Structures are given as structure tokens and as C-alpha cells.
């Protein structure tokens, strides 16, 4: 996952996975959430999603919530993950405000 640690910018996939996990969800539900929220613009394959999940778990941004069903592991965002998502929202808001000033809005 190519999140930019220096500037704090997250990839779109990372940001949407974090947003999806404000409620515990299993992999397929995460994929559906992202596809629905982006009106089909962002569609993840299983490999991309589970690579992201693995990376985010290692960073401590998400965690396993329920693995009682071996076929459907549920994940949720951690407090650290919420901080990261909030920082990304602030960064995107600032970028949007600057763009609106320049482009006009």
C-alpha cells in the first residue's frame, strides 16, 4: 500500500477501507460499501482488498473483530485508524478549499 507517510496522504482505497470499518464488516461487505459509496467508480478485487486489510492490520489501523465464522472474518477500525482517517479528512478539506479558491466555486 503506497500511503505517503511524509505528507500524510492516504490512497483512496486505504481511506475507503477505514471509512467502511467504522462499523465492523467482513471482506465482501467492505467491497460492497466501497462500490456503493463511490457509485461503482471504485471496485476492489479480493486480492487488492485482502492485501489492504493485511497492511492496515500490521499498521494497527484496523483489527480483527470477530473470527467465529472462518469464512467471514470481521474487521473494525482502531482508535489509531480513526485518527488517521480524521487527518485525511482534514487534508482533503484543505485541498478542496484551496482548489475552490483557485478554480472558483
In a domain, 6, yes or no: no
Number of domains in the chain: 1
Cα torsion through 51, 88, 86, 45, rounded to 10? -30
Question: 70-95: per-residue pLDDT in tens?
Answer: 788 999 999 999 999 999 999 999 99
In a domain, 27, yes or no: yes
In a domain, 81, yes or no: yes
What is the model's pTM? 0.89
For residue 52, what are the domain limits?
12-103
Query: Which domain CATH number covers 53?
Result: 1.10.10.10
In a domain, 49, yes or no: yes
- In degrees, rounded to 5, the angle at the alpha carbon of residue 47 between the alpha carbons of residues 30 and 49 is 25
In a domain, 7, yes or no: no
Q: What percentage of the chain exceeds 90 in pLDDT?
A: 84
Amino acid at each position: 500500500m503506497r500511503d505517503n507517510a511524509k505528507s500524510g496522504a492516504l490512497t483512496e482505497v486505504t481511506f475507503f477501507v477505514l471509512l467502511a470499518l467504522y462499523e465492523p464488516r467482513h471482506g465482501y461487505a467492505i467491497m460492497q460499501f466501497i462500490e456503493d459509496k463511490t457509485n461503482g467508480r471504485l471496485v476492489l478485487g479480493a486480492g487488492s482488498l485482502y492485501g489492504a486489510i493485511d497492511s492496515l492490520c500490521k499498521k494497527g489501523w484496523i483489527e480483527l473483530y470477530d473470527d467465529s465464522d472462518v469464512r467471514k472474518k470481521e474487521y473494525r477500525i482502531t482508535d489509531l485508524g480513526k485518527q488517521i482517517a480524521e487527518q485525511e479528512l482534514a487534508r482533503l478539506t484543505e485541498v478542496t478549499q484551496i482548489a475552490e479558491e483557485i478554480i472558483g466555486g
